[in-house]
Amino acid sequence: NRSTLGTVSDPATAGRAHGAAGAALHAEVERLAVDLIRWGHAGRGVAAALRSGAEGHTAAEAAAVAALR
């Protein structure tokens, strides 16, 4: 028998190979999930910094307008 897992001589070997491939896929999906969580945390941090910066610019602009009046 020939499969995407390579040459398989019997069903038991095929089952073990399939199980190993599934375990490797599961580990990779878990790693990607952790990476996505990290990117989400980083994105929230960037958004907070941008909001803070925008609020600072708004306050500075208001002060400048008040000083010109």
pLDDT by residue for the chain (69 residues), tens digit each?
A: 445 555 656 877 877 888 888 899 999 999 999 999 999 999 999 999 999 999 889 889 999 999 988
Using CA atoms, how far apart are residues 69 and 57, in angstroms rounded to an integer? 19
Q: Which of 17, 14, 15, 16 is nearest to 1 (CA)?
A: 14
Residues whose CB is less than 8 angstroms from the CB of residue 17 and which lie 6 or more positions away in sequence, other chains included:
3, 5, 6, 8
Which tokens sit at 33?
């999930």
Residue with tokens 């907070």: 48
Q: Model-level pTM greater than 0.85? A: no
Query: How many CA atoms does the CB half-sphere of 39 hold within 13 Å?
Result: 6
